[in-house]
Amino acid sequence: MHVWNRLFGSHDDERQVFEELWDKMYRHAYMVVRDTHLAQDVVQEAWIKIWRQIKTLRESDRLGAWATKIVHHTAIDLVRRRQRWNEISSENVYEVEGTEESTRTEGPEEVFFQRADADELIRALNQLSDDHRVVLVLRFYYDYKYDEMADMLQVPVGVVKSRLHRAKNALKQILEHDRSSLSVREVSVTDERL
């Protein structure tokens, strides 16, 4: 039986899984390249790679993680190609700003991040380095386990954990700074009205 048929079964299942996976892949690509058109290009290129390499997928239940890994590396490759091209052509350089999982309980960081509204969180995430932003999104948005993240990013699990720790601290500082700046501005506006 063909791997693709094993993954999906009926045509309805195939379409639903494809659409869900496409959305997930697009969001991840956009997180890396930060451009809608480039993200679409990344996803299309990744689907070509997936189609060509589908027979190498050993466990069909790991399709999402496997596809995300392909998207991540495709996006990074695209960014690097664009950087090299822009450096060669002397134009502006396109740059991207430079616990066991099954028993995880919400710690103070998770509660803190949940309180941040979506716009505030997106602004803060965009201020982080790629390494920090990627591990936070993979862990808290996609809910990947450490070993899955390590496999996708091709780094040891210890590196994933340390990046995640540093990323949470950096994000927390950004959010606290933004909130304190907002409070000062609100007080100033209130004082001016009096």
pTM score above 0.95: no
Tally of domains within the chain: 2
Identify the domain boundary among 88, 114, 129.
Answer: 88
177 and 107 in a single domain? The answer is yes
Q: For residue 94, tell me if it sits in a domain.
A: no
- The residue range of the domain holding 162 is 101-193
The answer for residues whose C-beta is within 8 angstroms of residue 106's C-beta and 6 or more apart is: 114
Q: What is the CATH number of the domain that holds 83?
A: 1.10.1740.10
* pLDDT digit string (tens) for the chain, length 194 residues: 455 555 555 556 677 877 888 999 999 999 888 889 999 999 999 998 888 888 888 777 788 888 988 999 899 888 877 766 555 443 333 333 334 444 445 555 555 555 556 667 778 888 888 889 888 888 877 778 898 888 888 899 999 999 999 999 998 898 888 777 755 554 444 555 55
Which of 62, 23, 50, 33 minimizes the C-alpha distance to 148?
62
139 and 179 in a single domain? The answer is yes
Q: For residue 59, tell me if it sits in a domain.
A: yes
Q: Is 130 within 8 Å of 170 (Cβ atoms)?
A: no
**DSSP H helices in 95-141:** 108-115, 118-126, 130-136
Which of 140, 36, 31 minimizes the C-alpha distance to 76?
31
Q: Whole-angstrom distance between the N-terminal and C-terminal Cα of the chain?
A: 76
Q: What is the CATH number of the domain that holds 168?
A: 1.10.10.10
SS3 at position 7: helix
